[in-house]
Chain A
Amino acid sequence: MKNIKRALKIHRIFMAQEFKRMMEYKGDFIVGIIGFFLVQLSNLLFLWIIFNQVPTLMGWTVYEVVFIYGLSLIPKGIDHFFFDNLWNIGFFIIRKGDFDKYLTRPVNTLFHVLVEKIQIDALGELIMGIALVCVSIPHIGADWDFFRIAAMICMIPFITLIFTGVKTITASAAFWTKRSGNVIYLFYMFSDFAKYPAAIYNRVVQNIITYIIPFALTSYYPALFILRGENPLFNLGMPVLASAVLMTAGIIVWHRGLRAYESAGS
């Protein structure tokens, strides 16, 4: 309990520092958000063009697809907002030996790295995701009972940790290889598959994004339950299980990595 209180306090302090830092570089932050919206608009335009050709996509209506698309952006945005620093681990921090400082502080290194920075640009993803979900819901003829809404909200922390877990595991590779930024990137790219219903892909891709790099668990499967009430045990249980497995694996690999860390000459 004391540990949790302390962790929350440290998190709050880092956040406050980050906001102060952000205020020093306002211009950059605004450009970041504008850039994101431009990318998302072009994606939506693409969806709109597809649905002008066909009324449904493998049985999914345009608003259902928009819902899945929006839902996928929410955990991605939250992870991006809070835990973006893992990219720096993969690209710079370990290679340059700057990881030393985390090891000389009385705070869990993974926790320290995770909460040290926030990425304001991610607000673009988050706002866009929430907007798309809210816009699509009234057009989808599902039974919107309390349970489904609650399920959707409760799933968000877990599916966020799927992103964080994958990033932690891939970032940890840098402890051995010195640089793993592109490995993170490669795996992270699979999350783009999560924007559309997994049913549109062939079996191989479906299996990969369900069981191996399970980004389909971040929006498609939860949506199967939320929109259609299908198989809650699998559609909600698997994402929760996957987040626990990935995060645990991430923590284990990270701590193994600490022992392999070689710093840099100085």
Chain B
Amino acid sequence: MELNRNGIGKSNEDMISVDKLRKEFKKTVKDPGLRGSIKSLFRPKTEKVVAVRDISFAVAEGEILGFIGPNGAGKSTVIKMLTGILTPTSGSCTINGKNPTQNRKSYVKEIGVVFGQRTQLWWDLPLRETYGVLKEIYEVPDDRYRKRMAFLNEVLELDDFIASPVRTLSLGQRMRADIAASLLHSPKVLFLDEPTIGLDVVVKDNIRKAIEHINGQEKTTVILTTHDLADIEQLSKRIVMIDKGSKVFDGTIAELKAKYGQIRELYFESDCKNAEQTLAYDRQFALGKDDLSVETEGKSVKVRFNSSIVPVSDMLSYTLGKINVSDISVKDADIEEIIRRLYGQGAES
């Protein structure tokens, strides 16, 4: 299993296996202005954009995978290839033994897809009608449909607005409705591309609980992209991070912390007027910008430092020896901090 995680080996247990998946887009490049437009009409210049660069990973059945990366990293493009919307330029992906672009119709019956920025609901009709149509499209039998709707109603609390036209729904309501639509046919795999985008804390929480619940009850395999790391922390044990189309990390959150989490945070309070200058950590320990940051706010000071260069004990004894402090503590950096650093580094590792 450990091997699969890193996408090296393959096993039959994997629900999803992705092998050197690549997607290139052609972009027409135009010189600016009318002149450029006319020129490109007669002699179009195209440029290759590599959106996804030979990515491999695997997901086990029943797993929730957090798929993260900065804007433009290629997350949505990967999801679109996995769901059969885009044809890969090269490489392959297999989901539950099937190739998404071959035999698309039987494949999509086994998956549910939500793109947070789009909707698949019938815009002008009451929400209920959408489910009625999807029932027929996915050939869900009457009794299963009734049970399923009752279940989804309960988990996603659709009752308040199921009779309203879709165009009148708020973003949060629409997102819940879309997630319900993707689950109507009890898919084995659920692809969620930014399902919490633009939602308030309560609705986010509601949606996370629903995903957790469905994953727990039905062993649905989930791939989730998001920019809200709280989604990941609550839902998935494992993350795959990509940047500029390449994979930069694949492993559990604990592994991420162990690997990149040498960053610690030291908090203390001091009456000393200019603690920052007095302490001068950067000169004392020769720490670069990436490995050290100090924030002072009134009496309290927060120092972020790389503990693989300066051990925590050295940091503590130096600080305590230099100034008088009241109340001191050391914390692991949170995952946001780690990710911020990783996104900044780009695809070097």
Q: Which residues of A contact B (CB under 8 A)?
A: 6, 9-10, 13-14, 17, 20-21, 24-25, 97-98, 100-101, 103-108, 258-259, 261-263, 265-266
Contacts and interface: CB of A to CB of B under 8 A. Distances in A.
Given A17-B133, A263-B85, A106 B138 contact: yes
Given A13-B136, A24-B125, A258-B87, 4 more contacts: A9-B136, A17-B125, A100-B85, A261-B86
A266 B51 CA distance: 12
Contact of B86 (A21, A108, A263): A263
A14 B133 contact: yes
B76 interface: yes
B82 to A, nearest CB: 11
Contacts, number: 70
A106 B133 contact: no
A6 B101 CA distance: 23
Interface residues of B, number: 32
A20 B80 CA distance: 32
Nearest to A260: B87
A105 B111 CA distance: 9
Contact of B87 (A105, A259, A265): A259
A17 B122 contact: yes
A104 B83 contact: yes
B337 interface: no
Interface string B131-142: 011001111000
Nearest to B132: A13
B7 interface: no
A108 B105 contact: yes
Interface in B233-291: none
B115 A100 contact: yes
A64 B306 CA distance: 91
Given A14-B133, A108-B105, A261-B85, A100 B122 contact: no
A209 to B, nearest CB: 28
A88 B282 CA distance: 62
**Shortest 4 CB-CB contacts between residues of A and residues of B:** A101-B120, A21-B124, A106-B105, A104-B113
A78 to B, nearest CB: 24
13 contacts: A13-B133, A17-B125, A21-B124, A25-B124, A97-B118, A100-B85, A104-B108, A106-B106, A258-B87, A263-B85, A263-B86, A266-B115, A266-B117
A263 B165 CA distance: 27
B151 interface: no
A103 B87 contact: no
B104 A103 contact: yes
Interface in B77-126: 80, 83-87, 101, 104-106, 108-109, 111, 113, 115, 117-118, 120, 122, 124-125
A107 B108 CA distance: 9
B129 interface: yes
A86 B85 CA distance: 19
Contacts of B101: 259
Given A101-B118, A101-B120, A263 B80 contact: yes
